[in-house]
Amino acid sequence: MGSPARPRYRFGPREFEAESDCLTLQLEECDDVLEDAAVLRSRLQDRGYLLLRQLHDRGEVLRVRREILERMACQGHLDPGAPLMDGVVPADSARAASPRVRDAAQLRTDSLRALVYGPRVMRFFRRLFACEPLSYQFQWLRAPGPGSTTPIHCDSVFMGRGTPNLLTYWTPLGDTTAEMGPLALCLGSNKLQPVIESYGRSDVDRDLTAGYFTTDPVELVERFGCRWATTEFRAGNAVILNMQLMHASLTNTSNRYRLSCDTRYQPAGEPVDERWAGAEPIGHYRFWSPDVQLEPVEVSRRRWGV
């Protein structure tokens, strides 16, 4: 008999086999050097990311998850016949919550803010930066349901007006399988200088670009020699990304919401992107405008020459 078929996962318009040239479900962990800030900084510089399995308290993350799902249930966004903590989407998909960050304001709770700005997180960034950290007060909370995916992008195009030392901090709000559409990292993309010097220096509000680099994950594998990676995440995990690492999400092929939150941190004494400064940041004042005409990515790519 032949060996059993390996699992396959959807990624936008593509489907990948696990542990193939395109996709691995293995990410290198850093908990063994959690207290060694110099090693963490070196790995972040080299790989573009850090995976930490035990940075958050698992019980605290699950309490945040419960509060968010309780709000979603009250709004009719959950299947009332399924366990609350499973976060199952109603059979009537028209009642599903929007995956857009700017539609999630009513889901942001005090417990979420306490989690992502609490002593454990701020102590970690104080060690990592070797100085006092500053946190953006906007929480990019997401609840993508079945069929949802996040396009391929790096974060510098959305928040690149301040310090280059800004970091993204991704927190899965619950146990998250690969079928639920978790964060996927494009390994090696943080060293693609032609892309970083063109697309990576664009600005969605200034240039009115679409924000993403491509819709085809295979392009970054075949043209640039990168490889996509994700893993099974659990409540308590966190992933830190620099501004140049390309990332996206797998397509959610489950019947459940994938709850997660992005937050941003930087050294306190360095320049801050004015769109995200202060207690009530203005955010994307043009990119999020309902009547804006964004430049098609094909046009942008020709202009950038990549």
Cβ atoms of 227 and 24 within 8 Å: the answer is yes
The model's pLDDT over 126-177, given as tens digits with 9 standing for 90+, comes to 999 999 999 999 999 999 999 999 999 999 999 999 999 999 999 999 999 9
Look at residue 144 in the predicted model and tell me its pLDDT. Answer: 94
Delimit the domains of the chain by residue range.
Answer: 21-304
Cβ atoms of 283 and 113 within 8 Å: the answer is no
The tokens of 189 are what? 């993309």
Mean pLDDT of the chain: 94
pLDDT band at 7 (very low <50, low <70, confident <90, very high): confident
- Candidates 182, 97, 181, 168; CA nearest to 139 is 168
The model's pLDDT over 203-253, given as tens digits with 9 standing for 90+, comes to 999 999 999 999 999 999 999 999 999 999 999 999 999 999 999 999 999
With 80 as the cut, is the pLDDT of residue 2 above it?
no
Look at residue 105 in the predicted model and tell me its pLDDT. Answer: 77
Class of domain 21-304: mainly beta
pTM: 0.94
Look at residue 94 in the predicted model and tell me its pLDDT. Answer: 65
Mean pLDDT of 267-281: 96
**Helix-helix angle 37-47:119-129, to 10 degrees:** 80
The tokens of 239 are what? 């992933």
Look at residue 12 in the predicted model and tell me its pLDDT. Answer: 87
The model's pLDDT over 73-99, given as tens digits with 9 standing for 90+, comes to 999 999 999 999 999 999 886 667 666
- Report CA torsion sign: 144, 148, 154, 157: negative
